[in-house]
């Protein structure tokens, strides 16, 4: 099997869906794709020859330890969401045509993210990141409401401008690239020491702002709360669990060039300041939001900030960051999928219109609470370990003064989210009992939470090895 297969099979499945335009076919195709995405990394883990780059397309795609981790996380998140769509589409009752459009765009979006993660060429990464913007916009707009139109517009416009900044970064990099002329990451890493420092520094700043827009780092996060709150819940989960990671891998691969050029001290300052700014922004807004999906969106900004801070710290911070990334993707997807259930019961996204979730729908209520516990980093969930390791790294690096605000922001956000989550869960229910939630509305979240528990308590060797070798990439 070659890497291109991972890109081509979804396209074939999309074509099948377009030909048949039938709901059941759409569901089957999405599930087949999810299974393919899960099976491929598993087989690759046991046999490194299983996925090999193919000479076709001049080796524009390759797989290494870092992209393997990101791809696996994406595959797992996508696996859950694909099953959730069975419930979601049943409850929505779209027409066959609309359903097909949604499913095709869903697969195209996945292809674009796979492209970002597996690309071995800087410009190809850029192309696919811009492509995620384009397909993502249509996915946000599929609900066809005024508010989703506004969110879609902000998303496409802000992201496109941000990503064009990243393109300026690529041009600046080529200016500084005296010896080599290709933008393959392998060559860039090899030649890193020969770059003109000035151009490399400028280039990193542009790339960080550009791809950072897609990651949702403050101060360029403006699109994120709108898009996450207005998209349908499987799409919000997909955005938060995989799209932000996919954009982050662009920054990480570029950061490796900075390390090889021995300019990481400069890059660290930028990463840390954007990370702390993200924490600040989400700490301020999480206390005043009135919409529970927006609250989760701010929490995504927070977690991306934490990850970037970990990368900026270096050494054990790399492992902590990537561990946190895994934890965040799974628990946040679980929360966003649960918002779909909540919306199904209450028909409102406002926090004060949702009361007594536990008495309305016991399972969703408990999933909601446990996912919150998982995301906010209580033991035994993995986010606890990763945050603990990060604080430890602060002290190890002699940056204990930074550990104080870091901890403070986390506490504020924990308080803001916790208040909302428990207000929504407790009390007597004010929703009309709506019994037609089928089993697929719960299974994905339970699957994520079980996986998180396993990662948090046992941490099986193979998972540790995957994350560790990804951390050794730097």
Partner 1 sequence: MTNILIILFGLTMLHVFSTTRIEAYIKTLTLQGFLLFLMILLEIKKLLLINFIYLGIETLIFKTIIIPIFLFNVVRKNEIKREVEPYISHLYSLIIASLIFVFGFVISLWLLKIENEIKHLYFGISISMIISGLFLIITRKKIITHILCYMMIENGIFLLSLSIAKEMPLLVNLGILLDIFVGIYLFLLFFNKIQTAYDQDHIDVLTGLKD
What mask, x for binding partner 1 by CB under 8 A, covers residues 105 to 124? Answer: ----------------x-xx
Site for partner 1 in 343-382 (CB under 8 A): none
Of 12, 48, 56, 147, the residue at the interface with partner 1 (CB under 8 A) is 147
Told to check if 164 binds partner 1 by CB under 8 A, we report yes
Report how far residue 324's alpha carbon sits from residue 103's, in angstroms, rounded to the nearest whole number. 30
Q: Which stretch binds partner 1 (CB under 8 A): 61-69, 161-169, 258-266, 329-337?
A: 161-169
Among the listed residues 36, 38, 134, 426, the single contact to partner 1 using CB under 8 A: 134
Spatial CB neighbours of 12, under 8 Å, sequence gap ≥ 6: none
Cβ closest to partner 1, residue 91 vs residue 196: 196
Residue 130 within binding range of partner 1, rule CB under 8 A: yes
Contacts by residues 195-200 (CB-CB < 8 Å, ≥ 24 positions apart):
195/257, 195/261, 197/261, 197/263, 199/172, 199/173, 199/175, 200/173, 200/176, 200/257, 200/258, 200/261, 200/263
Q: Binding residue for partner 1 (CB under 8 A) from 168, 259, 443, 454?
A: 168
Rule CB under 8 A: say whether 181 interacts with partner 1: yes
Instruction: Decide if residue 175 touches partner 1 (CB under 8 A).
Output: yes
Query: Rounded to the nearest 5 degrees, what angle is found at the Cα of 181, between the Cα atoms of 176 and 182?
Result: 110
176: buried, middle or exposed (CB in 10 Å: 19+, 13-18, 0-12)?
middle
Q: How many residues bind partner 1, per CB under 8 A?
A: 49
Is 177 an interacting residue with respect to partner 1 (CB under 8 A)?
yes
Cα distance between residue 266 and residue 383, in whole Å: 28
Say how far apart CA 207 and CA 172 lie, in whole Å: 10
What is the per-residue binding string for partner 1 in 62-101, x denoting contact by CB under 8 A? ----------------------------------------
Distance separating alpha carbons of residues 354 and 288, to the nearest angstrom: 16
- Residue nearer to partner 1 on the CB measure, 78 or 236: 236
Residues near 87 by beta carbon (within 8 Å), at least 6 away in sequence: 340, 437, 438, 439, 440, 441
Query: How many whole angstroms separate alpha carbon 323 and alpha carbon 437?
Result: 33
Helices (H), 397-432: 400-425
Q: Specify the stretch interacting with partner 1 by CB under 8 A; choose among 18-26, 265-273, 283-291, 387-395.
A: 283-291
3-state DSSP assignment of residue 375: helix
Sequence-distant (≥ 6) Cβ neighbours of residue 93 within 8 angstroms: none
The reply to whether 146 sits near partner 1 by the rule CB under 8 A is yes
Q: How far is the CB of 185 from partner 1 (least distance, A)?
A: 14
- Quote the CA–CA distance of 236 and 340 in Å, as a whole number: 10
Pick out residues in 194-233 that bind partner 1 (CB under 8 A). 196, 198-199, 225-226, 229-230
167 is a contact residue toward partner 1 (CB under 8 A): yes
From 150-158, 262-270, 393-401, 439-447, give the range in contact with partner 1 by CB under 8 A. Answer: 150-158
In the complex, the smallest distance separating the C-beta of residue 184 from partner 1, rounded to whole angstroms, is 10
Of positions 44, 141, 195, 442, contacts partner 1 by CB under 8 A: 141
Residue 371 CA to residue 364 CA, distance in Å, equals 10
CA–CA dist 29, 21 (Å, integer): 11
- Of residues 21 through 60, those in contact with partner 1 by CB under 8 A are 57-58, 60
The residues that bridge with 52 in the sheet, in sequence order, are 2
Which range of residues in 70-78, 176-184, 233-241, 442-450 is near partner 1 by CB under 8 A? 176-184
Residues at the contact surface with partner 1, assessed by CB under 8 A: 57-58, 60, 121, 123-124, 126-127, 130-131, 133-134, 137-138, 141, 146-147, 149-154, 156-157, 160-161, 164, 167-168, 171, 174-175, 177, 181, 183, 196, 198-199, 225-226, 229-230, 285, 288-291, 294
């Amino acid at each position: 099997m070659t890497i291109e297969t991972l890109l081509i099979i979804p396209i074939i499945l999309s074509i099948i869906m377009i030909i048949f335009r039938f709901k059941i076919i759409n569901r089957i195709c999405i599930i087949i794709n999810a299974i393919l995405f899960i099976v491929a990394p598993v087989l690759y883990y046991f046999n490194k020859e299983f996925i090999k780059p193919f000479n076709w397309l001049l080796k524009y795609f390759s797989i290494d330890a870092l992209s393997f981790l990101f791809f696996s996380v994406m595959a797992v998140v996508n696996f859950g969401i694909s099953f959730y769509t069975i419930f979601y589409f049943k409850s929505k009752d779209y027409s066959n045509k609309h359903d097909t459009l949604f499913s095709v765009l869903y697969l195209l979006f996945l292809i674009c993210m796979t492209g970002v993660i597996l690309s071995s060429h800087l410009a190809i990464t850029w192309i696919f990141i811009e492509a995620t913007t384009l397909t993502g916009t249509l996915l946000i707009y599929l609900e066809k409401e005024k508010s989703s139109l506004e969110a879609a517009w902000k998303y496409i416009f802000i992201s496109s401008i941000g990503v064009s900044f990243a393109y300026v970064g690529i041009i600046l990099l080529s200016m500084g690239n005296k010896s080599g002329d290709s933008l393959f990451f392998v060559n860039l890493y090899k030649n890193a020491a020969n770059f003109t420092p000035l151009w490399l520094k400028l280039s990193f700043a542009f790339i960080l702002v550009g791809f950072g827009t897609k990651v949702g780092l403050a101060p360029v996060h403006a699109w994120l709360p709108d898009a996450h709150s207005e998209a349908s819940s499987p799409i919000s989960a997909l955005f938060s669990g995989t799209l932000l990671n996919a954009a982050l891998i662009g920054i990480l691969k570029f950061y490796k060039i900075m390390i090889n050029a021995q300019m990481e001290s400069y890059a660290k300052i930028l990463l840390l300041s954007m990370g702390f700014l993200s924490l600040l922004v989400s700490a301020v807004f999480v206390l005043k939001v009135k919409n529970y999906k927006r609250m989760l969106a701010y929490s995504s900004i927070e977690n991306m900030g934490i990850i970037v801070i970990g990368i900026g710290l270096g050494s054990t911070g790399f492992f902590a960051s990537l561990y946190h990334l895994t934890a965040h993707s799974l628990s946040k997807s679980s929360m966003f999928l649960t918002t779909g259930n909540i919306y199904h019961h209450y028909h409102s996204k406002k926090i004060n219109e949702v009361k007594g979730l536990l008495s309305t729908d016991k399972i969703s209520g408990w999933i909601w609470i446990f996912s919150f516990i998982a995301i906010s980093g209580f033991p035994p969930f993995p986010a606890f370990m990763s945050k603990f390791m990060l604080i430890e790294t602060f002290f190890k690096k002699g940056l204990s003064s930074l550990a104080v605000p870091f901890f403070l922001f986390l506490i504020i956000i924990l308080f803001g989210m916790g208040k909302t989550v428990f207000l929504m869960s407790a009390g007597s229910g004010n929703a009309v009992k709506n019994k037609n939630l089928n089993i697929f509305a719960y299974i994905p979240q339970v699957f994520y939470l079980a996986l998180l528990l396993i990662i948090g308590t046992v941490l099986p060797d193979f998972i540790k090895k995957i994350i560790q070798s990804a951390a050794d990439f730097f």
